[in-house]
Chains A and B, each alone.
Chain A
Amino acid sequence: MSKTVLQSANPVPPPTGKPVLQLENLSKTYALGKHEVPALSNLNLTVNAGEFVAIMGPSGSGKTTLLNVIGCIDKPTKGKVLLDGIDATELPENQLYKIRRDKMGFIFQTFNLLPYLNARENVELPMEGRGKSKSEQKQRASELLAMVGLSGREEHRPQRLSAGEQQRVAIARALANNPAIILADEPTGNLDSQNKQGIIKLLANLNLTQGTTIIMVTHDSQVARNTERMLLLKDGKIAKEMQGLHANKKNQICPHCGSRIQIKDEICPSCKKTVYASDDLF
């Protein structure tokens, strides 16, 4: 598998904490026959721009519901979803699709690429209707595919790509409109460990170098450990919050010996240990 090398020579410094997402007293109840099943109850959360967040929790804890509500593809029963200060729950559908298109980037467990379009066309999809010329779309899609390590694979259809490559195409697609937030629902759930590692590295590097805000749902603790901020969801509430390994890298401190490191360093100059997302983590 291809090694993730980001082209950006001067990494963007971690953005200062301006809230990009605020959830206030968020509740979501599903009606199951006569019973009402609460999925989220009075949840409060603030995510700042540039954060890499993992949402963890057992099955049925409301992880995916939370992600869908954040992504404006599901409406909460009550509460507010503030995106850049705008309450998305107040917006009608003919405004919401623009938010999904321009502010969100979705990554799915099952990749959800369109099978009859090639990799580049899949990446171009969200750019439709945004006033970009076909050639601009094409160029942007090719750049994004290069960024995720798929140069030369632009014309391949999904069935001719490996699972890991398909998820890279999906990540490129999510990045197409330069969204404020990337929402990833179990992005490594269908991948083997090697591909899993590659995707996590890719997301982490995107976060480091591009300042992309990422909110990722996972039940894989190994994957979650490599994020910056881990949220444990239980009974529709955030039960616990921890710092992940990615925070060390971001804070430019070696997790092993505590000495200063550079963002681009993969191995600590002091203790010579692998700083981040090494194979032994998986």
Chain B
Amino acid sequence: MISIPAGVLANEKTANTVASNLSNLISQTGATINQTLTQIDCSLAPSFSGFGFTPPSGGTGTYRSGGYGGSGSGGSGFTPGQFGGGTIGGYFGGDAFSGGRANPMNETLYSDINSTLSGVAAVEPVLQASEGNNVTRNLDFNGYSRTITTLDVTYTIEGVPLTSDLVGNYPILPTNITAGSNLQAGDSGDVLLSENNSAYFGAGVGDSVSILGQSFTVVGIYSPSSVGDTQMLYMNLSDAQAITNNTGYITSLTVFAQNSGDVSSVASEISALHPELTVTTAQDRESALSTEESTYTTALANANASDSTTNSTAIEEIVVVVLATSLIVLFVMLYTVKERTKEIGTLKAIGFSNSTVMTQFMLEGILLSMIAGVVGIAIGMVAAPTIASTLLPSVGGGARLPTGAVVISGTTRFGGLAVATLTPELVLLGFGVAILLGTIGSLYPAWRAAKIRPAEAMRYE
């Protein structure tokens, strides 16, 4: 009988996939930050509130109740479900990059930033509001289920001031227009849709769409960048304020410094002027990113470490099992040979050669192992998950892998629980090992049988 801890291969796969996904995400985000070096985000929302499984603050509310928010914009590049939608997405997108914008700000209170601070080139007041529904999902992974509530965002309104200065000189609008044209300075009643928005509304260039009861004309469609919000539509700030009943209010300010060298001094001046604001510079975002990067690197290192612990434990278990199995076959076959000494003597007396006798006993041992292998695999199929979760150390135990960050093709760990599945390869491997052990365990007994001298065997009772 043999059993092989089934979770081993799966764990390695999990860690590797998580690692490659994260490194992609980090490099993409880093590139975005470099493009916006002079940009300083200012908002009232506390940063880094949306860790882990909790949806980003305000994200669960609708725009009407005043809960505006980054709703996991960075994460939308991932298929929902793969990282749990609200997990890494919320972590990166909601807070670190978009800035957690929850509380409306009175626009006029902050006009002094542009007028009094010398290093400021331009200020872009932004109103962002998400429309969506709270959705409770029951995720099922190999029998382990978990309930996740997330805001299922249908679209996010990004109101930006369409002044000729900002439109002409600053990256306030998407650049990758795939149909129609971009918004122009002074446009009103017009909207720029993402490709996802276009599909959601079923509208193309020149069509009119109804947004919160107001009719807008689609001037163009853009393709979001890989880490951008795929559901964000752009319109004039005043239009956005009007349709969301937020006239005079914004959710964030984007301040552009004169040059990138001034960014930190401008940021501290803004903070001095308005201590209530959370000011985030590109450097801040970068350092936040690197903090996260190191967090994830540590988590991954821990995961890999526990993975290798799992591996070595598994190897120890396999070695023990293999030894035990070989010994069992050895002793069973030795006993069989002893039991059947007289029979072997008889066979030799009536003309069986040593090699025939040896082959006979080898085949018997192998057949025995094959039967045991089939029975063992049958038991394993039923008991593997229990055995794996009992015997194998939990991966990520102590490692701060995002809770619920899961799912690699069928075999995985969920919330520290080992989920083992028997793959056909594993079954074949088990069967092969069973036969191999049977062969090894039978060798000596069969040799003993072949060497029995018939005259002595006859005397054996």
Contacts and interface: CB of A to CB of B under 8 A. Distances in A.
Nearest to A127: B351
Contact of B455 (A74, A97, A108, A126): A74
Interface residues on A, range: 20 to 34
Nearest to A110: B342
A100 B348 contact: yes
Nearest to A105: B350
Contact of B458 (A68, A102, A125): A68
Interface string B346-369: 111111111010000000000000
B361 to A, nearest CB: 14
A101 B345 CA distance: 13
Nearest to B349: A106
A185 B347 CA distance: 16
Given A108-B346, A112-B342, A125-B347, A97 B458 contact: no
Interface string B329-351: 00000000000001101111111
Nearest to A183: B349
B396 interface: no
A8 B230 CA distance: 101
B454 interface: yes
B343 A101 contact: no
B351 A97 contact: yes
Nearest to A74: B455
A100 B351 contact: yes
A118 to B, nearest CB: 16
A114 interface: yes
Given A68-B455, A112-B342, A129-B356, A73 B348 contact: yes
B247 to A, nearest CB: 97
Contacts of A125: 347, 350, 352
The interface residues of chain B, by DSSP majority, are classed as helix
A73 B455 contact: yes
Nearest to B461: A110
A270 to B, nearest CB: 44
A132 interface: no
Nearest to A129: B356
A177 interface: yes
B354 A97 contact: yes
A126 B346 contact: no
Contacts of B453: 73-74
Contacts of A114: 343, 346
Most buried by A among B342, B347, B455: B455
Interface string A83-101: 0000000000110011011
Nearest to A179: B351
Interface in A93-142: 93-94, 97-98, 100-102, 104-106, 108, 112, 114, 125-126, 128-129
A113 B74 CA distance: 81
Contacts of A63: none
Contacts of A71: 349
30 contacts: A68-B455, A68-B458, A73-B348, A73-B454, A74-B453, A93-B354, A94-B354, A97-B352, A97-B354, A98-B351, A98-B353, A100-B349, A100-B350, A101-B350, A101-B351, A101-B352, A104-B351, A105-B350, A106-B349, A108-B458, A112-B346, A114-B346, A125-B350, A126-B350, A126-B351, A128-B352, A129-B353, A173-B350, A174-B350, A177-B351
Interface of A: 68, 71, 73-74, 93-94, 97-98, 100-102, 104-106, 108, 112, 114, 125-126, 128-129, 173-174, 177, 185
Given A73-B454, A74-B453, A129-B356, 13 more contacts: A73-B453, A97-B348, A97-B354, A98-B351, A100-B349, A101-B351, A101-B352, A112-B349, A114-B343, A128-B356, A129-B353, A173-B350, A174-B350
